[in-house]
Amino acid sequence: MSLKFGTSGLRGLSTDLNGPAAAIYATAFAHYLMSSGQAKPGDPVLLGRDFRASSPDISAICAGALTRAGLTVLDCGPVPTPALALYGLEKRAAALMITGSHIPADRNGIKFYRPDGEIAKADEEAISTLATGLMAKPAGIDAMPGPAADHARQAEALFLARNTAILPAGALNGLKIGVYQHSTVARDLFIEVLAHYGAKVVALGRSVDFIPVDTEAVSQATIDRLKAWTAKHKLDAIVSADGDGDRPLVSDETGLPLRGDLLGLIAAQFVGASVAVTPVTSNSGLERQPDLSILRTRVGSPFVIEGMLKAVADGQTGVVGFEANGGTLTATDFTLNGTTLKALPTRDSFLPALAVLFLAARSHKPLSVLAAGFALPVALSDRIENFPLETSAALMRYLRSGADNLATFLAPIGTPESVSDIDGLRVTLMDRSVVHLRPSGNAPEMRCYAEAETADQAKRLLEQGLKCIRAFGQHYGSR
C-alpha cells in the first residue's frame, strides 16, 4: 500500500485505501485511543466525509472497523472538516474525516482527531506502528461495512450557529458575493451563512463530479472561471474552499484570488490576535505587520498546532495560526460581536472568508484595494505534479550537500544570500527576492514558491524555479 501520513492526515490512492487498509487504520486508531486512555469501549467516535466517489465506501468500512473495535460510530455525513472537529470538541469524541482535501479525485485520505482536537506527529507515529502490526496478522482485518447513527444535522447546526454569530446582523448588506460551489462540502453552508449576513449570493459552478481545488496554487483554468463570473455577475467577491472545506478561496472583484496568508493575516487582525503561528512558506512580509508577533513552523497543521500550544503554554494570549493555503486555526477563545468564539485548533475556511468580507463591507473598499494596502511582497506558488518522490528526495539531497550545488542550481535565477532549512529550502537571493523549493508531504509533487517586489518579477522567478526543477527531474530520470 502506498499510504503515508503527510502534512495533514493519511493520504494515498483511493484504490489502496478503499478496502482492508481503511479498516486497518481505523482499527489502529481505535486501539490507540483506548490504550492511551483517550476513549473506552462504547464511547462515541465521529465520521465525516467529502464528496469524492470513494469516500462513502471508505467511510462505511471505517464505521464497521470502529464498531468491531468497541466504539459507537456517529455518522456526520458530508461535512466540512472544521464542522466535524467542532462537533468532536463539543461531544468530547474522537473523529475521522474521509477526505483527500485538494488532491486529485483518484486519491483519498483520512484525517484523525482525538477528543481534544487534531492529532500530532507523535500520534501519527503510534497509529502507524499499530497499523503495521495489524497488517502482519495472518487472519487479516475484516473490511465489512458497519452501522452508524445519523448525526449530520447536529454537526451542521453547531457549525452554522458558530458562523452566524461572528459578525453583526446585516454585516454584509450591499455586497454581491459569488459562491464557487464545485464539489466542496462547504458549498451550501457558505450560501446560508453569507445570506444570513445580508449579502446577495450567486451560486456558481456546482459539480456532481469531484473537482480538486488547491487554494495555495489556484490553477489558471480556475482563475479564468472566477474572472468570467465576476465580470458577468458584477460580483464584489467570490468565495469557495477545497474539497473538505478547511482551506478558503476568496477572489477580489476582478476574480483574482487573494493569497491565503493574507486571508489568515486579516483573520488574525479581525479577532484581535497578538500571536500568529504560520509555516515558513507564508509571506515574509508578515513580520512587518504591526501589533502581531509571527512564529514560524514547518509546513502542516500539526506543526502549526504544536507552535500554538507552545505559545499558550508560554503564557501568550490571543493566539491564532494560519497556513499559506488560508486555513485559519484558533488556539484561544476570542470575544466577537459580544459572544465567545471558542478555540478551534484546526484549519477553518469560514473565519478568514468572513473576516475579509466584513473588512470590505465596513471600509466600503474593493478587495483589490484592501489587499494592496497591506503592501506585502508579491508571492506566487505552483507545483509540478507527477514528480516522483524519489526524484524530489534526490533533488533535496543534492541541494543540501553543499553551497556550490545550490549556487549552480540557482545560477539561472540569482545568487543566494541566505538559506532557511526549516521545511524544504527557502533561499533569499541577493536582490531580496525569495525562491522556496519544497517536496509535497503527501503526494508525488514538487512545490515552488516565489516572492518579489512586483508581480512580473515574482512570476518570472516562479517560472524559472519550476524550469530548474523540471530540468533536474529530466536529467535524473534519464540516468
Predicted confidence at residue 137, as pLDDT, reads 80
Write out the residue limits of the CATH 3.40.120.10 domain(s) in the chain: 4-152, 175-373
Q: How far apart are CA 447 and CA 392, in angstroms?
A: 10
The C-alpha angle with vertex 321 and arms to 266 and 305, in degrees rounded to 5, equals 170
Predicted confidence at residue 246, as pLDDT, reads 96
Q: How many residues does the chain have?
A: 479
CB neighbours (10 Å) of residue 373?
10
pLDDT, mean of residues 169-193: 98
**Residues 32, 37, 43, 44: is their CA dihedral positive or negative?**
negative
Predicted confidence at residue 440, as pLDDT, reads 79
**What Cα–Cα distance (Å) separates residue 101 from each residue in 51, 98, 173, 243?**
10, 9, 32, 5
Predicted confidence at residue 138, as pLDDT, reads 64
Q: How far apart are CA 258 and CA 325, in angstroms?
A: 10
pLDDT, mean of residues 86-99: 97
Catalytic residue among 14, 54, 101, 433: 101
Q: How far apart are CA 244 and CA 33, in angstroms?
A: 24
Predicted confidence at residue 85, as pLDDT, reads 98
Q: How far apart are CA 117 and CA 96, in angstroms?
A: 11
> Is 90 exceeded by the pLDDT of residue 478?
no
Q: How far apart are CA 383 and CA 216, in angstroms?
A: 10
Query: Is 282 noted as a catalytic residue in this protein?
Result: no
Selected residue with higher pLDDT from 188 and 219? 188
Give the contacts of 223 (CB within 8 A, at least 6 positions apart): 255, 256, 257
Predicted confidence at residue 442, as pLDDT, reads 63
CA 408 to chain centre: 34
Write out the residue limits of the CATH 3.30.310.50 domain(s) in the chain: 378-477
> Is 60 exceeded by the pLDDT of residue 347?
yes
The fold of the 175-373 domain, in CATH, is Alpha-D-Glucose-1,6-Bisphosphate; Chain A, domain 3 (3.40.120)
CA 107 to chain centre: 16
Residue type, 15: T
Give the contacts of 408 (CB within 8 A, at least 6 positions apart): none
pLDDT, mean of residues 78-83: 98
Is this model's pTM higher than 0.85 or not? Answer: yes
pLDDT tens-digit map of 41-79: 999 999 999 999 999 999 999 999 999 999 999 999 999
> Is 60 exceeded by the pLDDT of residue 1?
no
**Residues 411, 462, 286, 443: is their CA dihedral positive or negative?**
negative
CB neighbours (10 Å) of residue 453?
12
The C-alpha angle with vertex 295 and arms to 290 and 297, in degrees rounded to 5, equals 145
Give the contacts of 195 (CB within 8 A, at least 6 positions apart): 201
Selected residue with higher pLDDT from 219 and 190? 190
Predicted confidence at residue 104, as pLDDT, reads 87
Predicted confidence at residue 313, as pLDDT, reads 96
Residue type, 336: L
CATH number for domain 378-477, candidates 3.30.310.50, 3.90.1300.10, 3.40.30.10, 3.30.70.1140: 3.30.310.50
pLDDT, mean of residues 457-461: 95
**What Cα–Cα distance (Å) separates residue 181 from each residue in 207, 212, 257, 344?**
7, 12, 15, 24
Q: How far apart are CA 429 and CA 413, in angstroms?
A: 9
Q: What is the mean pLDDT of the chain?
A: 94
> Is 60 exceeded by the pLDDT of residue 180?
yes
Most confident of 343-352, 415-424, 446-455, 467-476: 343-352
> What band does 8 get if pLDDT is binned at 50, 70 and 90?
confident
Q: How far apart are CA 53 and CA 469, in angstroms?
A: 33
Q: How far apart are CA 376 and CA 436, in angstroms?
A: 17
| Closest-CA residue to 126 (of 33, 40, 62) | 33
Report yes or no: 191 and 224 within 8 Å, Cβ to Cβ: no
H/E/C letters for each residue in the chain? CCCEECCCCEEEEHHHHCCHHHHHHHHHHHHHHHHCCCCCCCCEEEEEECCCCCHHHHHHHHHHHHHHCCCEEEEEEECCHHHHHHHHHHHCCEEEEECCCCCCCCEEEEEEEECCEECCHHHHHHHHHHHHHHHCCCCCCCCCCCCCEECHHHHHHHHHHHHCCCCCCCCCCCCEEEEEEECCCCHHHHHHHHHHCCCEEEEEEECCCCCCCCCCCCCHHHHHHHHHHHHHHCCCEEEEECCCCCCEEEECCCCCECCHHHHHHHHHHHHCCCEEEEECCCCHHHHHCCCCEEEEECCCHHHHHHHHHHHHHCCCCCEEEECCCCCEEECCCEEECCEEECCEEEEECHHHHHHHHHHHHHHCCCHHHHHHHCCCCEEEEEEEECCCHHHHHHHHHHHHCCHHHHHHHHCCCCCEEEEECCCCEEEEECCCCEEEEEECCCCCEEEEEEEECCHHHHHHHHHHHHHHHHHHHHHHHCC
Predicted confidence at residue 441, as pLDDT, reads 66
Domain 4-152 CATH assignment equals 3.90.1150.10? no
Please name every residue paired with 49 in a beta bridge, in sequence order, or none if there are none: 78, 98
Predicted confidence at residue 270, as pLDDT, reads 97
What's the half-sphere exposure (Cβ side, CA atoms, 13 Å) at 2? Answer: 11
Predicted confidence at residue 48, as pLDDT, reads 98
